[in-house]
Amino acid sequence: MKKVLVVLAIAAMCGSIAQASYESGSCTSGSISGSFSNAVFVVGLGWSSSGGRSVSFSGSCSACNNAIGIYGWMCQSPAVEYYVGASGGTSKGTYSCNGRSYTLYTQQVNSAPSVCGGGNFVQYNANGSKSSPIDMSCHFSAWQNLGMPVGSYNYMVVNAESWSNQSGNYNISVSGSSWYTKWVNAGSVSLSCGGGGSTTTTTSGGSTTTTSGGGGGTVVVRARGTAGSESVTAFGSTWTLGTGMSNHSISTSATSGTVCFTNDASGRDVQVDYVVIQGSTRQAESQSYNTGVYQNSKCGGSYSEWLNCNGCIGF
């Protein structure tokens, strides 16, 4: 059942299932919560671009088929979708992380849409404990030692999901997280970031309503793209940049957040000039958190206006 859900979720992200809805955005509070009704869905809180890290988290989900564990993608060749705390496929061997034993299972998925593009990918399922913390650098190294390639990291989240049209509620807290994802294929699902700001409720047909959580305010992001087709997500808003510097205003009471580049490709880069948060101007080149700049022959660094890879600047 999980495999079927995953394939449907990927198709939804790529727009190939008309009734599915997908959204993502900034969430620097480190927690999300919500409820769901007759739903087939996936929600996650973590990072829009992330390699190995130790993930500390907590949470619960009533009536979920899979919760609470690690879920992510690696856009390598072949692309990889991975879970920690799930099973399914052919065993590749056992290993130990954080003093816990795991068995890695893999399975090939063909002719199915992928967040990385193309139609084929491999699913890695690390069957074992889902208890916090989970050291993903240990898991990635173990998978490589078992002969399975690792690299080109896309997003990684702590997830909750259901594929059996159940109704219930969920909550997820992740230390140091800054980004959420929500996919809905049936029913309705609400999501509140940190219990403040606003709550969005998305239905399977794509209808989204936003309920104010109180408090006004504005964030202004000034940025440009080099190609004019770059997609940016910041403070719960997503838009496409032009090649000239322009301001994008977002109604939010947030006092911190991220600006994320999400569709990196050849010839595409994003330059962020500054962000004005509740009247305070913060220059991009003064921020130490930057997972999208290309520095020292890899993605990720600090103190730069540039996002050359899928990643975020924290403000």
DSSP 285: G
The answer to whether 22 touches 12, Cβ cutoff 8 Å, is: yes
Among candidate residues 81, 230, 285, 305, the one labeled active-site is 81
Distance CA 131, CA 294 (A): 33
What is each CA distance from 190 to 156, 184, 303, in whole angstroms?
21, 10, 36
DSSP 19: T
Question: Which residues, 6 or more positions from 107, have their beta carbon under 8 angstroms from its beta carbon?
Answer: 3, 88, 89, 90, 122, 123, 125
User: H or E element: which one contains 13?
Assistant: helix 2-13
Distance CA 66, CA 296 (A): 38
Total number of residues shown for the chain: 315
Among candidate residues 23, 161, 230, 305, the one labeled active-site is 161
Question: Which residues, 6 or more positions from 122, have their beta carbon under 8 angstroms from its beta carbon?
Answer: 78, 79, 80, 81, 106, 107, 108, 109, 148
- Which amino acid appears at position 261 of this protein? F
The β-bridge partners of 274 are 222, 283
**Where are any strands of DSSP class E within 131-266?**
134-135, 153-174, 179-193, 198-203, 208-212, 218-225, 231-234, 237-240, 246-251, 258-261
Task: Check if 305 is active-site.
Answer: no
Distance CA 106, CA 62 (A): 28
Strand 100-109 with 121-127, pairing: antiparallel
Task: Check if 23 is active-site.
Answer: no
Q: Show which residues are catalytic.
A: 81, 161
